[in-house]
DNA sequence: GTTTCTGATGGTACTCAGTTCCACTGACAG
DNA sequence: CTGTCAGTGGAACTGAGTACCATCAGAAAC
């Protein structure tokens, strides 16, 4: 048994990435990956569900982290929770950035990997959507009915995940040195525009000074705003 | 050669759906599908890229339709184009609704099909996103820079596709009888809230009658609005 | 020290999706 | 009648993924 210094999983991961880079994805057999890692083919499939899985991070782990951060949100804390949860995902990618970039190169090229990548992203969207539609979240505001609320939650989740992916992709392409503050700003903007429905939650108050004093004007203001 | 009444592709499609319903997806071999359709295994793989493909519609066709509608958008017509394009997708699903519902049942159950479904949806998102980021579209408004514009386009595309999927899913679940008007209203709402950035493109004008006439007031109004 | 249990491993054999190649058939034109 | 051509079926192959079993190292029990 050669080189037990790294874990079997790690050895398999690096062997897979190396061979995919050298020979291409299709031309690389699972047997070859296992051989380079110094283990049997059986061990490969005991470690990973499929050949593709050797390329991707353990989404379960990240998803659990994100779910925990969302669960920790108190009343009124939905916005912060969502933003921080998205940045948590980013930080997981940045944690081993070289691997992330290698994976990006592969997923752009190989359809099978691309498909799995997209499906993976969708799980985050589901998670965010379920949270935003849940009773603990107040980001999407009051909706006329339960279905409208769910739609808004799904749209907001899609917007958040899309924003995250956009910023991440820029970093993967070396368009960006420090993506975290960029993501934070972008999420702030997006959440402003999307999650909260401006027409419902904001009221613009325009003050016009006149000779009449406030008390005299108040009843009229009340009438105009349709005070219930 | 038995039953040449329907096209080979159609016979294979129905055979596949029948067998998946009877025996389950994994338990059904391609050979069995081909046999029921009265053709050879070779012909199956000449017709479809994979076993999964027999379940899904020809996305290429729909994508081309949608792309054509988007291309046809004139200046100022981005909003209508996007809404109509999304409704075009819906109408394709409704065209043979029974198959769509059967497929929905399968995609919810079988992971392999689910993954392909999600990947398929992503192609529509790409298409919408590219259009909204293109030079012909004016839905996302003026952005500080090219990257911000692209982000907005991607977010808007995600919102549109998510909305479409939400309404479609409701119809697939028999939550809805006539989904088209529902989708149209929902898209209107979503596009209002998302694509156009209210703070940038809308200016509220409040008119206060005073004794001074308009000409006298105009310079002052110009100054306040920061007329360039 | 010996036994025994346990967990991880490697090997073998199998199924089946997907590919490649070739032979056949029927239609149609010359 | 002959050549061509498109569509088809069959046979053989590769490789992913699964199932089963034998093995072995180490820890625990006696």
Closest CA relative to residue A59, chosen from A4, A121, A144: A121
| pLDDT confidence tier of residue A215, bands split at 50, 70 and 90 | low
Q: Nearest residue of A to residue B209 by CA position?
A: A208
Return the pLDDT at B117: 96
How do residues B23-76 score in pLDDT, each as one tens digit? 999 999 999 999 999 999 999 999 999 999 999 999 999 999 999 999 998 888
pLDDT of residue A77 exceeding 70, the answer is yes
In a domain, A222, yes or no: no
Task: Write down the mean pLDDT value for chain B.
Answer: 87
Q: Which of A169-173, B45-49, B152-156, B203-207 is predicted least confidently?
A: B203-207
In a domain, B207, yes or no: no
In this structure, what CATH number is given to the domain that contains residue B160?
1.10.357
Q: Which of A154-163, A213-222, B174-183 is predicted least confidently?
A: A213-222
pLDDT of residue A198 exceeding 50, the answer is no
Q: Chain A residues contacting B, CB < 8 Å?
A: 114-116, 118-119, 122, 147, 150-151, 154-155, 157-159, 161-163, 166, 170, 175, 186, 190, 193-194, 197-198, 204, 206, 208
Within 7 Å: CB of A30 and strand D? yes
A67 plus A23 within the same structural domain: no
DSSP for residue A128: H
Q: Which of A84-88, A107-111, B34-38, B215-219 is predicted least confidently?
A: B215-219
In a domain, A214, yes or no: no
Of A55, A74, A90, which marks where a domain is finished? Answer: A55
Q: What is the pTM of this model?
A: 0.84
| pLDDT confidence tier of residue B217, bands split at 50, 70 and 90 | low
- Position of tokens 């993506």? A179
Return the pLDDT at B200: 47
Of A18, A33, A55, which marks where a domain is finished? Answer: A55
Q: How many Å apart are CA B33 and CA B161, to the nearest integer?
A: 33
Return the pLDDT at B144: 79
In a domain, A136, yes or no: yes
Do B173 and B152 form a contact (C-beta atoms < 8 A)?
A: no
A173 plus A79 within the same structural domain: yes
B137 plus B38 within the same structural domain: no
Do A19 and A33 form a contact (C-beta atoms < 8 A)?
A: yes
Separation of A41 CA and D22 C1' (Å): 16
pLDDT of residue B16 exceeding 50, the answer is yes
Number of domains in chain A: 2
Tell me the mean pLDDT in the region A34-44: 96
Q: Interface pTM (ipTM) of the complex?
A: 0.83
Q: How many Å apart are CA A114 and CA A119, to the nearest integer?
A: 9
Higher pLDDT, B211 or B132: B132
pLDDT of residue B83 exceeding 60, the answer is yes
What are the residues whose beta carbons fall under 8 Å from the beta carbon of A100, sequence distance 6 or more? A93, A94, A172
In a domain, B9, yes or no: yes
B49 plus B27 within the same structural domain: yes
Q: Kindly report the bases of strand C lying within 7 A of a protein C-beta atom.
A: 8-12, 16-21
Higher pLDDT, A154 or A143: A154
Among B157, B162, B194, the residue with its CB nearest the CB of A154 is B162
pLDDT of residue B21 exceeding 70, the answer is yes
Separation of B39 CA and D9 C1' (Å): 8
A86 plus A132 within the same structural domain: yes
B16 plus B129 within the same structural domain: no
pLDDT of residue B207 exceeding 70, the answer is no
Return the pLDDT at A3: 43
Within 7 Å: CB of B46 and strand D? yes
How do residues B90-104 score in pLDDT, each as one tens digit? 999 999 999 999 999
Within 7 Å: CB of B41 and strand D? yes
How do residues B179-197 score in pLDDT, each as one tens digit? 999 999 999 999 988 755 5
Closest CA relative to residue A61, chosen from A105, A92, A85, A39: A92
A113 plus A185 within the same structural domain: yes
How do residues B123-154 score in pLDDT, each as one tens digit? 999 999 999 999 888 887 777 788 999 999 99
A65 plus A51 within the same structural domain: no
| pLDDT confidence tier of residue A201, bands split at 50, 70 and 90 | very low
Do A108 and A176 form a contact (C-beta atoms < 8 A)?
A: no
Return the pLDDT at A195: 59
Domain interval for residue A148? 59-202
B166 plus B98 within the same structural domain: yes
Q: How many other C-beta atoms can be found within 10 angstroms of the C-beta atom of residue A131?
A: 24
B50 plus B106 within the same structural domain: no
CB within 8 Å: B115 and A115: yes
B51 plus B129 within the same structural domain: no
Q: Chain B residues contacting A, CB < 8 Å?
A: 114-116, 118-119, 122, 147, 150-151, 154-155, 157-159, 161-163, 166, 170, 175, 186, 190, 193-194, 197-198, 204, 206, 208
Return the pLDDT at B93: 96
B114 plus B134 within the same structural domain: yes
């Amino acid at each position: 048994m050669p080189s037990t210094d790294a874990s079997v999983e790690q050895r398999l991961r690096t062997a897979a990435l190396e061979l995919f880079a050298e020979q291409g994805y299709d031309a690389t057999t699972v047997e070859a990956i296992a051989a380079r890692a110094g283990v049997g083919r059986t061990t490969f499939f005991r470690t990973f569900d499929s050949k593709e899985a050797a390329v991707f991070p353990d989404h379960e782990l990240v998803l659990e982290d994100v779910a925990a951060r969302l669960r920790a949100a108190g009343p009124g804390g939905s916005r912060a929770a969502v933003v921080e949860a998205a940045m948590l995902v980013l930080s997981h990618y940045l944690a081993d950035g070289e691997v992330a970039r290698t994976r990006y190169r592969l997923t752009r090229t190989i359809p099978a990997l691309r498909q799995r990548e997209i499906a993976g992203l969708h799980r985050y969207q589901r998670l965010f959507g379920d949270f935003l539609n849940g009773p603990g979240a107040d980001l999407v505001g009051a909706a006329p009915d339960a279905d409208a609320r769910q739609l808004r939650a799904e749209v907001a989740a899609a917007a958040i995940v899309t924003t995250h992916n956009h910023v991440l992709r820029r970093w993967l392409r070396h368009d960006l040195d420090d993506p975290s503050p960029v993501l934070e700003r972008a999420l702030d903007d997006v959440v402003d525009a999307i999650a909260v429905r401006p027409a419902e939650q904001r009221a613009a108050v325009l003050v016009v000074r006149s000779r009449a004093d406030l008390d005299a004007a108040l009843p009229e203001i009340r009438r105009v705003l349709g005070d219930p």
